[in-house]
Every structure is written in structure tokens, then in C-alpha cells.
């Protein structure tokens, strides 16, 4: 929400379009690809006339916060069913860093350093499977059907977005504006009438400063909300409209990842897909996808149900990379770029109202991610296609974009789709993780193998209510008094508490080599520099600074994927440096305190902001 008010000296500009879309990711790609293909009749006349530019086809605008389309997203493996349906003649060789899946493995990784916290079942597995392990890794004899992505494809979403965006703009039927953060929807009661751009020329706290320019209002008959799980427009709607009864967004993960030039002689072939479990901690999953040209996208997922309150995903990723099975093939490689992204892992259970008067929601923020199969890109694309088809139908019939018409078209398509059918199966698949990691894995297996008939029971808990104190987490490992000493020393030196605690419990220090094992900041700067245009306010704020002042976990600082949140040496709420933020949004759910005004949310507010990563490889 904007903190600023209009001033008489600087009026707020206003423009109109027919359709405004917020965020350009796979969902918006699917929507705009479908829509633009259908806007003109075969005889060259538009299927409908623009309401704002008479005589012209509908004016379609898409705003993207990042400085270019495809910046700062992720590598992916997908079955690509919806993508293939949109591009039946898809030639992956036309998209850099894309390849068919050729080999898929699930690996159980044993702890080679003895610092991982392994439940008894994992310790047993370490011993029992030992004789069949290669380099401390056990390859599951088969990939469960629900995890299989074969036949499918690996690609960089950044490159895909560049390709899709280039094609779209070449049609001249849609405009995609990068570097354009949208602050909030324009609302009239429960209806959406357009969007408001973020103010510029403001101070850190959002108050007008030199060169103040209030964010423009873009009015539109239809607002398409595709700004992902941490997007400000989706969040605003969730606050204003609430979630449907029984829905909540309590399950999250952060994907910490990098793109690596593999060393010469690496035996991974293009199209190789690895899924790992067991290391560096049992709760942390790993992934590795091999692209053409001896390049791989790899990383880990750190979920909200991981109990460590001082969780720095980057260091965990470095330990994961050094696991003997992976390091044997990665050693000698070079990091090309690094990044991070939050994943909304409630899936269908976190689905908001999919439409209303003047708006519709697509993609990850609409609860389309399948939390059992770990698949979200294709599902997001499919939701965009479904909305595109629905909008074309309404245009041709001359109907307005109301809750009723969108429910009868878009929502009806979703309810009848494979996305919905598979999401229903997946809905309870992760409930076991509420109790323990072992029950979680058993639950996923039960759900997957019985097609959702049998699930491990469990009721998801808010992320902030799951986080123990540091002393509780390290009980039995480090005495409370020593934790206090380590805290004091880190505060005095201004160093990472997470690193100190990991060192103390036996994690080896990272032998930085300047090429693949590099500092956290170098990973963000190498090939994917992080930057932010001047003149915007801070997009990370703390709802109640006094709550922060009393907080002892400070998960936001330790978990920040860009080291952009840091301790205030003078006490009080943490400080935020937006020039280092990668916009992963992990701070939003990596907080141990509830917002005093909304107990479902944490005390960290993640709003509209500019900039972020400048990499289209991740």
C-alpha cells in the first residue's frame, strides 16, 4: 500500500487500457500468448473494439517489476503439457538452456560430515543403504510416478520468458513494460478498477522527496493478477477480500539456486535431472538440471517447516554442493549466476478468490502449484491459457468482466482442468511434515501412490508459530550460556550468527575458491548483479518495530537471500538495504512474530519495489 498522498503540486497521472496485467511470468506468458493470438479475426479486423482507443483492438498492458522480462527467476523441470499445447511445434533448440529430459534420478544423500540432524530413520537408512551407495549417495531404484517429469523438459524460466516476451511484443498486440512496479490494485468496494504504480522520488519510508512523482493510475476493465506468491497486488487483494473459507497460505519454501558452468569432463549429459533428499538436513530438498553446453541449474529448497530459526539457505546450498556425489562432478566448475525465490507451497489450499468484478488471478499466487509433484510452471502457464480463452470468449460475446461472467468462464475452466484435478490429489500430501520430516515423507509417498486416497493427517501451522527459539533449537547441542556468548560475540563483530552456530555444531567452514564456492554477495553479483533504481521507498518494512526490538530469533536477518536485512547496531528493528534485495520475499514468512493486526501474517511486510536480479539464466 502506498504511504504517500497526492500533493496539489504533483498531480497523480491517470491512463486507461482495456486489460492490465500485473507481473510477467509463466502465467502471464500463457495468458498473453493465448489472448494475443485471438484478438484479430482472420480478415484482419479486431474481435472486439477497444473501449479506450476506439477503432483499435483492445489495448493490453503488462507491468513487470524487474528491470527486464525474465530477470531473477528459476531453472525448472516440467512435463510441459500446457506449454506443448500452446506451442505444438515447440523446438527447444530455439530456446537457450532448454533440453528434453533424458535421465531422471532421485538420490538419497548420506551426511558425509556428521553435522546433519538426522532422525533415527535416516540414521538407519544411512547404514542400511550404505553398501549400495556411490559417493555417499543412494539412487532410488525407480522414480515414483508422481515425481516423474519424463517425458518433459528442463529450461531456464528466464530464457523462456525472454523468448515468450519477444514473441509477444513482436505481435504488437500487447505491451510488456519492465521496470514498472505496481503498488496496489485500485478498488471500488470488492471490485478492481485497475492498478496504481509505485510512487517515485520518495524517501526510504515512502514520504515524498526530491523529484516526487506519484505512481500513475492505470484504469482497466480487467485487471489480471499474475504477480506471484509475494506480489503486492495479490497480497493486497488477500487482505481486502480475505481468503475463501478454509483456505490459508502457511506453507512456504525458498529456492536458493545458481547456474554453473560444469567442469570439462563432467559426465552429466544435457537433460539430466537429479532430485536429492537427506542432506544437508533431512528437511532440505535439492535439485539439479543439466542444460546443453555443459551448464547446470542447481540448488536447494528450504521449507517453512524446517525448524532452524537461523537458517541461511546459501550456506546450506554450499554444503549440499560439496556432497561427494555432487562435488565429484561440480568441482572445477564456475558459478555464472545466483538467485533465490519464494515458493507458495500451500497449493490449492492457499487458493484465493480466483476472480471478482474486474479482476482475475492466475499462476502461483492463485494456488496453482502442485505441492505433491513439485510442479508449478506448467500449471501456472495453464491457468493463464484458461483465462486467455475465457477473456476472448467474453470479448466476442460483448460481455463485461464481472464476477459472474468470469466464474462462468475462467473459474469453470479451472475447475474442470487437469490442474485442479491433480491439485486436489496433492492438497493434503504434505500435511505429515507438520509432525515430523519422517511423517512428511511417508505422507507424500502415501498420497502419491494412492492418488490422494490416503494421506498423513496434520493441520498446517503458521510459519511464525513453528519457529522455536535459538536456545530451544540448539538444546542438547549448545548450552544456553554458550549460545548467549556466541550471540554477544556476533553482535559485537557484526558477523553472522547462523555461521557461528553452524561452525560450532560441526559444519566445516566453506573453502571459498573464488569460482564456484564464492561469498554470498559474489554469488549475487556474478552474472546477475543486483540493483535497484533510485527514488523508490523501501519495500521491506516491519509492521511493528517494537515487536522487532524484542525479537531474539531475527530469522529475517539470517534467512535473507540477499543479505539485505541486517542488524541495526543501535538496536531496534533490523535495517534494510533495498539495493541488495533479490525480491525473493522469503522475509515475509521467515519471521517468528505475528503481525499484531493480522495474526495470519508475520511482522515483515513485503511491498512493491523496484530492481532485483539482472540475470535471465536462473
Partner 1 sequence: MSEFHIVVCGSIVPDPLQTLAPVEAPTGWSLKNEMMLPAVLDPWAGHALYEAANLAKKHPGSRVWLVSLAPKAKLQQVMMAVSQKAPFELVVADGSASGFTDSHETARVLAETIKGIAGLETSKMLLFGGWQSASRGSGAVMQMVGEMLGVSEQFQGVDKLTVHDDGAIEVKERIEGGSYQNSLVDGAPAVFGWATGELPEPPNNPQIGMQNMQKNMPALMQAKPADLSGTTMKLASVAVPQQRRETRVVKDAPVDEMAREIVEWLKS
Residues that bind partner 1 (CB under 8 A): 13, 15, 63, 67-71, 95-96, 159, 162-163, 165-166, 169-170, 172, 175-180, 197, 200-201, 211, 213, 216, 218, 336-337, 514, 519, 521-522, 525-529, 533-535, 563, 577, 580, 614-617
Q: Considering beta carbons, is residue 166 or 244 the nearer one to partner 1?
A: 166
On whether the CB atoms of residues 16 and 218 are closer than 8 A, the answer is yes
Phi, psi (5° rounding) for residue 154? -110, 140
Q: Considering beta carbons, is residue 469 or 521 the nearer one to partner 1?
A: 521
Q: Look at residues 137, 439, 121, 135 and name the one whose alpha carbon lies nearest to residue 275.
A: 137
Q: Look at residues 192, 200, 236 and name the one whose alpha carbon lies nearest to residue 218.
A: 192
On whether the CB atoms of residues 234 and 350 are closer than 8 A, the answer is no
Q: Look at residues 368, 364, 381 and name the one whose alpha carbon lies nearest to residue 155.
A: 381
Q: Considering beta carbons, is residue 465 or 579 the nearer one to partner 1?
A: 579
d(CA 239, CA 375): 27
d(CA 84, CA 90): 7
Q: Considering beta carbons, is residue 175 or 568 the nearer one to partner 1?
A: 175
Minimum CB distance to partner 1, residue 337 (Å): 8
Q: Look at residues 145, 126, 153 and name the one whose alpha carbon lies nearest to residue 277.
A: 126
Q: Considering beta carbons, is residue 201 or 545 the nearer one to partner 1?
A: 201
SS (H, E, C) 35-49: HHHHCECCCCCECCC
Minimum CB distance to partner 1, residue 560 (Å): 13
d(CA 407, CA 420): 15
d(CA 535, CA 210): 9
Q: Considering beta carbons, is residue 44 or 398 the nearer one to partner 1?
A: 44
Q: Considering beta carbons, is residue 145 or 534 the nearer one to partner 1?
A: 534
Spell out where 49-124 has E strands.
Answer: 60-63, 75-78, 98-100, 103-109
Minimum CB distance to partner 1, residue 174 (Å): 11
DSSP state for residue 391 in the 8-state scheme: H
Could you tell me the sign of the dihedral formed by the alpha carbons of 519, 523, 527, 531, in that order?
negative
Minimum CB distance to partner 1, residue 531 (Å): 10
Q: For residue 587, what are the contacts with CB-CB under 8 A and spacing of at least 6?
A: 540, 556, 559, 560, 565, 604, 606
d(CA 301, CA 555): 17
Cis geometry, peptide bond prior to residue 280 (ω within 30 degrees of 0): yes
Across-strand partners of 288? 274, 298
Minimum CB distance to partner 1, residue 108 (Å): 33
Minimum CB distance to partner 1, residue 169 (Å): 5
Apex 72 CA angle, 499 and 78, nearest 5: 100
* H helices, E strands: number in the chain: 19, 28
Q: Considering beta carbons, is residue 116 or 161 the nearer one to partner 1?
A: 161
Minimum CB distance to partner 1, residue 72 (Å): 11
On whether the CB atoms of residues 455 and 244 are closer than 8 A, the answer is no
What spatial distance separates the first Cα and last Cα of the chain, rounded to whole Å? 29
Q: Considering beta carbons, is residue 222 or 386 the nearer one to partner 1?
A: 222
Minimum CB distance to partner 1, residue 253 (Å): 26
Q: Considering beta carbons, is residue 532 or 591 the nearer one to partner 1?
A: 532
d(CA 383, CA 411): 10
DSSP state for residue 450 in the 8-state scheme: T
Minimum CB distance to partner 1, residue 611 (Å): 11
Q: Considering beta carbons, is residue 328 or 529 the nearer one to partner 1?
A: 529
Minimum CB distance to partner 1, residue 327 (Å): 23
Beta pairing, strands 153-156 & 137-139: unpaired
Q: Considering beta carbons, is residue 133 or 221 the nearer one to partner 1?
A: 221
Q: For residue 35, what are the contacts with CB-CB under 8 A and spacing of at least 6?
A: 19, 60, 173, 174, 388, 391, 392
Minimum CB distance to partner 1, residue 595 (Å): 30
Minimum CB distance to partner 1, residue 159 (Å): 6
- Residue 42, Cβ neighbours under 10 Å: how many? 5
Minimum CB distance to partner 1, residue 411 (Å): 31
Q: Considering beta carbons, is residue 162 or 405 the nearer one to partner 1?
A: 162
Amino acid at each position: 500500500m502506498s504511504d504517500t498522498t497526492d500533493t496539489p503540486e504533483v498531480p497523480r497521472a491517470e491512463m486507461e487500457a482495456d486489460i492490465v496485467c500485473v507481473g510477467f511470468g509463466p502465467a502471464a506468458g500463457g495468458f498473453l500468448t493465448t489472448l494475443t493470438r485471438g484478438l484479430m479475426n482472420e480478415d484482419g479486423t479486431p474481435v472486439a473494439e477497444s473501449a479506450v482507443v476506439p477503432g483499435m483492438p483492445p489495448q493490453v498492458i503488462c507491468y513487470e517489476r524487474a528491470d527486464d522480462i525474465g530477470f531473477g527467476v528459476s531453472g525448472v523441470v516440467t512435463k510441459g503439457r500446457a506449454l506443448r499445447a500452446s506451442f505444438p511445434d515447440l523446438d527447444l533448440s530455439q530456446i537457450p538452456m532448454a533440453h528434453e529430459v533424458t535421465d531422471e534420478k532421485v538420490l538419497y544423500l548420506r551426511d558425509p560430515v556428521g553435522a546433519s540432524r538426522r532422525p533415527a530413520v535416516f540414521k538407519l537408512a544411512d547404514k542400511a543403504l550404505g553398501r549400495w551407495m556411490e559417493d555417499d549417495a543412494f539412487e532410488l531404484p525407480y522414480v515414483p510416478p508422481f515425481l516423474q517429469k519424463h517425458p518433459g523438459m528442463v529450461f531456464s524460466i528466464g530464457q523462456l520468458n525472454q523468448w515468450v516476451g519477444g514473441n509477444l511484443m513482436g505481435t504488437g498486440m500487447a505491451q510488456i513494460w519492465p521496470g514498472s512496479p505496481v503498488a496496489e490494485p485500485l478498488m471500488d468496494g470488492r471490485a478492481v478498477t485497475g492498478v496504481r504504480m509505485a510512487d517515485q522520488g520518495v524517501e526510504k519510508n515512502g514520504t515524498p522527496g526530491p523529484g516526487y512523482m506519484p505512481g500513475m493510475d492505470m484504469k482497466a476493465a480487467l485487471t489480471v493478477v499474475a504477480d506471484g506468491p509475494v506480489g503486492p497486488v495479490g497480497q493486497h487483494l488477500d487482505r481486502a477480500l480475505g481468503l475463501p473459507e478454509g483456505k490459508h497460505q502457511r506453507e512456504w519454501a525458498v529456492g536458493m539456486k545458481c547456474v554453473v558452468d560444469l567442469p570439462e569432463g563432467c559426465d552429466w549429459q544435457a537433460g539430466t535431472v537429479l532430485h536429492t533428499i537427506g542432506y544437508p538436513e533431512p528437511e532440505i530438498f535439492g535439485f539439479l538440471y543439466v542444460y546443453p553446453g555443459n551448464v547446470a541449474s542447481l540448488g536447494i529448497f528450504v521449507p517453512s517447516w524446517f525448524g532452524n530459526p537461523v537458517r541461511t539457505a546459501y550456506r546450506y546450498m554450499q554444503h549440499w554442493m560439496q556432497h561427494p556425489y555432487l562435488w565429484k562432478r561440480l568441482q572445477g566448475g564456475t558459478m555464472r549466476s545466483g538467485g533465490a525465490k519464494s515458493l507458495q507451497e500451500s497449493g490449492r489450499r492457499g487458493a484465493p478468490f480466483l476472480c471478482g468484478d474486474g479482476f482475475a488471478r492466475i499462476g502461483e499466487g492463485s494456488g496453482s502449484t502442485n505441492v505433491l509433484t513439485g510442479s508449478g510452471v506448467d500449471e501456472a502457464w495453464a491457468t493463464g491459457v484458461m483465462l486467455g480463452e475465457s477473456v476472448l470468449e467474453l470479448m466476442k460475446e460483448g460481455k463485461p468482466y464481472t464476477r459472474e461472467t468470469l466464474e462462468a468462464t475462467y473459474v469453470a475452466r479451472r475447475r474442470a482442468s487437469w490442474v485442479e484435478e491433480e491439485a486436489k490429489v496433492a492438497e493434503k500430501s504434505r500435511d505429515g511434515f507438520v509432525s515430523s520430516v519422517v511423517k512428511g515423507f511417508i505422507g507424500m509417498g502415501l498420497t502419491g501412490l494412492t492418488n490422494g486416497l490416503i494421506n498423513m493427517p496434520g493441520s498446517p501451522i503458521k510459519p511464525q508459530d513453528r519457529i522455536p527459539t535459538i536456545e530451544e533449537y540448539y538444546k542438547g547441542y549448545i548450552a544456553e550460556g554458550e549460545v548467549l556468548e556466541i550471540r554477544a560475540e556476533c553482535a559485537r563483530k557484526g558477523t553472522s550468527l547462523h555461521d557461528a552456530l553452524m561452525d560450532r555444531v560441526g559444519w566445516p567452514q566453506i573453502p571459498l575458491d573464488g569460482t564456484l564456492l564464492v561469498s554470498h554477495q559474489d554469488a549475487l553479483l556474478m552474472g546477475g548483479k543486483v540493483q535497484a533504481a533510485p527514488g523508490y521507498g523501501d519495500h521491506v518494512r516491519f509492521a511493528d518495530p517494537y515487536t522487532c526490538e524484542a525479537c531474539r530469533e531475527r530469522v529475517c536477518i539470517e534467512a535473507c537471500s540477499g543479505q539485505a536485512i541486517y542488524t541495526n547496531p543501535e538496536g531496534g528493528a533490523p535495517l534494510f538495504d533495498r539495493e541488495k534485495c533479490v525480491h525473493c520475499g522469503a522475509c515475509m514468512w521467515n519471521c517468528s512474530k505475528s503481525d499484531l493486526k493480522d495474526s495470519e501474517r508475520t511482522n515483515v511486510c513485503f511491498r512493491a519495489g523496484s530492481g532485483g536480479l539482472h540475470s535471465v539464466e536462473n
